[in-house]
Amino acid sequence: MIETVVSHQHNLTLYKCYGDLKEAEIHSIIQPYYTEEATPNLLWDFSEASLSSISSLFVRQIASKMREILSVRGKGKIAVVAPKDLEYGMARMFQMLSDERRFPFNVKVFRYVGEACQWLFLEE
């Protein structure tokens, strides 16, 4: 399950994830976020979720899809919180792909929510 919390005051959309996530569920969240009016900053919190059903091919596909969508959106930040090793590894793969594909958004992976929030709200 993915819970969405939007704070326009903080320019942040939070996706709080729970349980064993499926590729279709993640895909269904990504498309609307980047095609509708959205906040410039995004936080994915996998602290209470498992990505064991997600393939590395899916991560590559999502990175390609997001690159296309983000190219028309402008600048922003994407923070990913993944305290467990599997989720952290998948998130780091996404971060490396975002660097390789030159996303207009900065992407960074963290083990703790506090670190992610600190980075998101720092001025660039």
pLDDT digits (tens, 9 = 90+) for 76-88: 889 999 999 999 9
State the amino acid at position 45 in one-letter form.
D
Is 3.30.750.24 the CATH classification of the domain at 2-121? yes
Q: Is the pTM of this model over 0.85?
A: yes
List the domain boundaries for the chain.
2-121
Per-residue pLDDT of the chain (124 residues; tens, 9 = 90+): 999 998 888 889 899 999 999 999 988 887 666 656 678 888 999 999 999 999 999 999 888 877 766 666 667 889 999 999 999 999 999 999 988 877 778 899 999 999 999 999 885 5
User: Residues 100-110: pLDDT tens digits?
Assistant: 877 778 899 99
Q: Which helix (H) or strand (E) holds 40?
A: none
What is the distance between the alpha carbons of residues 98 and 37, in angstroms, rounded to a whole number?
22
